[in-house]
Amino acid sequence: MRVLIPNPLRSYTREAAAVTASGTTLDELTLDLDRRFPGMRFRIVDEQRQIRPHVKFFVNGSQQRDLGAPLADADEVMIVCALSGG
């Protein structure tokens, strides 16, 4: 499926803004992303398998807070990083 990569993570994707990865859940998707782009998962998912506080996942435009959320090949996943303050 198509995964849209935010700017802060593009150092892992050789600056690609969109990549292809697979998985039947968000958890599997982030594991596959990590296989393709080593190190990426731990920046967005912590060691207790929780999405990090300032990282959001949108599946076909709807936010998913649970890594167990199911995915289909035709889905589009967008990763968003939120930053505020100086």
Q: Can you give the binding site for other proteins, defined by CB under 8 A?
A: 8-9, 38-39, 42-50, 52, 54-55, 81-85
CB of 72 to other proteins, least distance (A): 27
- Burial of residue 29, with CB atoms counted within 10 A of its CB: 0-12 exposed, 13-18 middle, 19 or more buried: buried
CB of 33 to other proteins, least distance (A): 14
CA pair distance 78, 57, nearest whole angstrom: 6
> With respect to other proteins, which residue has the nearer C-beta, 20 or 50?
50
> With respect to other proteins, which residue has the nearer C-beta, 20 or 42?
42
> With respect to other proteins, which residue has the nearer C-beta, 13 or 75?
13
